[in-house]
Structures are given as C-alpha cells and as structure tokens.
Amino acid sequence: MRGRPNLYTSYEDEQKILPTVTQRVTMGAFLLATVTVPFSVVPGLRFLGTPGWLQILNVMLVFLVAALGLNILIGFAGQVSLGHAFFMAVGAYTAAVLAGSPTQALWGLELPLWFALPIAGLAAAAVGIVVAPTAVRVRGLYLAIVTLGLVFIGAHIFRNWNQVTGVPELGRDWGPLQLALWDIDGPALRFDKDGDWFGVFVSAEGKTFLFMLVVAVGFVVLSKNLARSRLGRSFAAIRDRDIAAEVMGVSEVKAKTQAFAISSFYAGVGGALYATVVGALQPEIWNLFLSVEFVAIILIGGAGTTAGVVLGAIFVQTLPRIVENTTAFLEVQVETQGWFAPIADLIIRTDGADLGIVSTVNNGPGLSVAQANGLLFGLFIVLFLIFEPLGLYGVWLRIRNYWKGWPFTY
C-alpha cells in the first residue's frame, strides 16, 4: 500500500523478490550501471573497465555462483561443508573433458560450452548424491570432517589422473569461452577475443564479464526463488529444528540429500566457469584453502541470505586488490613525504629501520602483501563471527533500520 511499504495485503506480495517500488528501481539502476562497466561510461566506476579489474570481477562472478550453492547447504539447510572445492573440481574436469581439445595425453571431446556447463553441474550433483547418504548420518563437526576428507581424496585423484587433469603443477587448457551450435568451428558468440558487438568495440575481458553477469544473475534469481519454495522451506525447517520438522512430515534424509545435490550442481557449474574464465588451472588449486574461501564469503556476507552472498563475494574477491593498491599508495606517500606519510610510516616498511607492519622489501622483515591479505582475511572472519553474525547483510540492516527510524533511536 502507498506510504506503508511493510504492510502487505496478500501472501504473494510479501513473497516477491523485490516487493517495493524503491527496491525495484534501485535494483534496475544497479544492473544498468553494472552492464555498462566494460564500456567505462559511468563516472567514478571507469577504473572497473580496465582489463585488470575486469578479470577480478569475472572471477568474483564465478565465485558468486559457487558460493550461492554453498549458501544453500550451509545457510538454507544448516549443513557444514568444507568440501566445496572438491565438487568444483568435479565440474571443472567434466567440462574439460567435454569441451577441451584432445591430445595424445589428454581426453577431450570439443563439445560446445552450452552443452558442457549443465553436464558439469549434473556430474557434480551426482557425486553429491552419492556422498549425501554418508554425510546425512552425521552433523556438526563430524560432517565438516567428512566433507574435509573429500578435499584430500580429490587432491590425490586430481594429481594422478593425468589424462583428465593434465601434468601436476602445469594442469591443462580448457575449451574457449564461446557459444556455438554443434559445429564448434563457427561460434555464434565468442568471448575470448576482442571484437565488435553490434558496432561497439568490446574487449575479451568485457565480453566475458557480460556473459558471466547474465549467468550470475540467473543463478541469483534461482537461489532466491528456491528460498521461497516448498523445498527451500523444508531446508529451513531441517536447519532450525530437525526433529520437529520430521514430526511435521519433512524427511530429513531426503531434504539433506536434495540440499547436497543442488549445492553440488552450483559448485560444478562454478568450477567449470572458473576454469574456463581463467584458462588453465593446476590440479593443486582445488585445495582446502579454496573451500575455506567460500566459507568466508558466506560468513562475511551473511549466511542464509542471497544478498549477503553477493556482498561477501564482492568483498572477498576485491579485498586483495584493494590491499595491493592501498599498499602502493602508502609506499608513494612514504617516498614523497606526502600528506599521509605519518600514517604510512606506521603501516609500510620500506627498509629494515622502519616500524611498519607490511614490508615492500623482498625478503625483508615484516609481512608481505600476500601475507597481509591472509591476515585481514582471517581477521574479518573472526570479527564478523563475534560482532555481526549476519555479516555485511546485517550491517546493511542496521544502517537501513537506523535511517528508517531517524531521528528517533527506537
């Protein structure tokens, strides 16, 4: 109703993805600004159109797709998992065999991307269904250990199955990022080469970004709709009170198996996209740290919320670049004795006599930029768990509620 945005007169209105006009207008403006990123036309966002930033954004969108799957398992169904990297690897190498080029040492069928992506997701989902009966028998810490074992089992398989994964520490090339009919020699759309689209020049990174944006938006809508569906509500019932849910007729085994299958499907598609966007990945990349990175996206963004996963993916993937740029800026301030030199001296160590924490000297004392990234990574996880369990989404709720109630404090 007009003037009463939180008053609904029907269940359908309350369950809309964007129930208010303000939300719909804001989301439309955000998507419009996002689509124009590769063309560098929006003031203040033109730096995002550079190849370096577009590559970061492409990986961020890939991680968003995979993180949405983990959020279904952890946030919706309440099941802990540290094996997300394993399911991503299953999808990635399924796509590699289907879309990759064959050699004397590698398998490859050179099938189109539109065929390889869903099959990669289904292959990961099938593995998830196989693992689910064992996983649903345990919960909490024991479930985390079971899924953690998948990562180490996968690491052994991927290092030794050279016909699929390639040579250890070198890996293999994936098929090109292009959309074609069954004849792959004449792709309808090609994303791995610079060129003109409808008379407008778009770089390869820009084409990849637009493709990944469409895919990510599709998976976000699917995840949001799943939370509103009967299946999503059964996940929430199992998460909140599994015994009470079974009393009401919700099968715990069936719900957890479905959650594992859907989560694995997202991970498989995300793994296939990750390998295709990057171009070549070593078998060692699918390790425990990658799984922990997705858990961090969920915890920092806000478990159980689709918007929180989006915020978490943006934060986690852009943090290393922000730290790198900030370190470079502070280093220049130290060298030129700029306005921020007193602060920079406390953070940046340019020689052995400085007191800074982050060192820009090779093999010098202090933390490297990569080590500083890892330190901040873990620090943010601890801080959000202690002070804001809802993550960045919870921070946004606090800000929104404050301005809704301003100037009152209650």
Could you tell me the two tokens for 105?
């040492």
Domain coverage including residue 175: 50-285
Question: CB atoms < 10 A from the CB of 120, how many?
Answer: 31
Q: Quick check: is 180 in a domain?
A: yes
* Residues whose CB falls within 8 Å of the CB of residue 91, separated by 6 or more in sequence, listed in order: 120, 121, 123, 124, 267, 268, 269, 270, 271, 272
pLDDT band at 400 (very low <50, low <70, confident <90, very high): confident
pLDDT per residue as tens digits for the range 323-340: 888 888 888 887 887 887
Do 137 and 79 share a domain, yes or no?
yes
Q: Quick check: is 12 in a domain?
A: no
Do 136 and 248 share a domain, yes or no?
yes
Do 111 and 231 share a domain, yes or no?
yes
Do 263 and 314 share a domain, yes or no?
no
Give the domain-ending residue among 285, 318, 340.
285
Number of H helices, E strands in the chain: 16, 8
Q: Quick check: is 17 in a domain?
A: no
* Planar angle of CA 22, 28, 34, nearest 5 degrees: 135
Average pLDDT over residues 306-313: 94
Q: Is the pLDDT of residue 66 over 90?
A: yes
Q: Is the pLDDT of residue 1 over 50?
A: no
Average pLDDT over residues 48-56: 92
Give the domain-ending residue among 285, 317, 352.
285
Do 188 and 275 share a domain, yes or no?
yes
Q: Quick check: is 13 in a domain?
A: no
Q: Quick check: is 11 in a domain?
A: no
Q: How many domains does the chain have?
A: 2
| 237 against 341, higher pLDDT | 237
Do 164 and 265 share a domain, yes or no?
yes
Do 354 and 394 share a domain, yes or no?
yes
Give the domain-ending residue among 252, 285, 318.
285
Predicted structure pTM score: 0.91
Q: Is the pLDDT of residue 138 over 70?
A: yes
Look up residue 197 and give its DSSP letter.
Answer: E
* CA gap 250, 254 in Å, rounded: 8
Do 143 and 254 share a domain, yes or no?
yes
What SS3 class is residue 57?
Answer: helix
Alpha carbon 345 to chain centroid distance? 35
Do 320 and 380 share a domain, yes or no?
yes
